[in-house]
Chain A
């Protein structure tokens, strides 16, 4: 990345659904290699905010830049910019008609136009990175939840994103599978990936996050190092929430 600014910059972004303001004039800078964990009550706008960050939602106001390039859903370059922002969904959203290898290789082949062999080799490498070398030929329906989510992470990584977004990546998983997914995310963080993670896994936040953000009604109410935000939140809404969650 040949610019010195933040990996992701949001300025005054707002998103409404009808009369409901879901993201409210929000500012956020995420530095390169920074790991931000975002928490907040259900319905506070966390998913919508992530979806704004990769252009799945059209903004009502404000601007978003990824690596210094404006993300504009109305513009033809949206696909190119979006390809630089990886997204991991709560429900995995793997392509059920493709095996793990093809799930990972599809976008590099179609979007980046990589030659087949190169895309497949790269996909094998990404799947190895998430510990799934033995499952290249498996279809999503043949994989456990934890394995599916790791394929989904490998699929996003195959596009060499500058920023990775995670929307509650472990909340659809059985408890015994949460660890394997968090381990992959921890490795990713240690390798220097810029990450914005919506998750209520407090242990992960304490250990891996550089910054924890508390979101409520589309606004950032708390933002700071994990210890400060999680142990000594200043805002009463945040206190109330953490008392319930922790």
Chain B
């Protein structure tokens, strides 16, 4: 087989695994966003038990390797709760990433000037209304760039679920290798496919940043 045909052959083998990588990434990151928002808001809720719980959650999850968390959830909890590989993988990555997102969301909200809370309150808005209509729309702008980095990291870390047998991109690479014993080209192309996806994401997040930019608000974008 010449190199071109080999590359095509490998890519054809990898392609069916891409949707699984995308599914794991998108679902676990969505979960991470929802949990991260809840945990981030708890951290600044001012309610002591909730603050402590949220801080503990973040510290524990950031202090343990993701791979260990995946093993724990799939082999440890999975047996008890009857979790399938897919659910366990998404859950493990989602929970782990929620800790990082909680920190990003918390610091994004805290970066909004005190005067904004006071202006909202002085107009009679409740805390929830102030958060929803005044604070979060502004914090979103601050949150998007670091959250986008996490999204890209999440895509790359989705390769870890290959270890519990989910047939995503990395797993497909291993299968190709074990059938045909081509290592250099296989892993080079697996890397290239990941790279294409992360570059696409980078482009997408730039687009998002521009969409959320407001006139005269630093980014110089006019709508």
Contacts and interface: CB of A to CB of B under 8 A. Distances in A.
Contacts of B137: 97
B56 to A, nearest CB: 29
A90 B119 CA distance: 11
A121 to B, nearest CB: 18
Interface SS of chain B: helix, strand, loop or mixed? helix
Nearest to B118: A56
A20 B124 CA distance: 29
A56 B121 contact: yes
A209 interface: no
A111 B123 contact: yes
Given A95-B119, A95-B134, A79 B217 contact: no
A156 B217 contact: no
Interface string B118-130: 1111111110010
A30 interface: no
Interface string A68-81: 00000000000110
Interface string A157-192: 001000000000000000000000000000000000
Contacts, number: 74
B214 A82 contact: no
A155 B125 CA distance: 13
Given A110-B133, A111-B129, A141-B217, A93 B121 contact: no
A208 interface: no
Contacts of B121: 55-56, 82
B122 A86 contact: yes
A48 interface: no
A133 interface: no
Contact of A91 (B115, B120, B141): B115
Interface of B: 113, 115-116, 118-126, 129, 133-134, 137-138, 141, 214-217
Given A107-B124, A110-B129, 13 more contacts: A54-B122, A55-B121, A56-B121, A79-B125, A82-B123, A84-B124, A86-B122, A87-B118, A95-B116, A95-B138, A97-B137, A110-B133, A111-B129
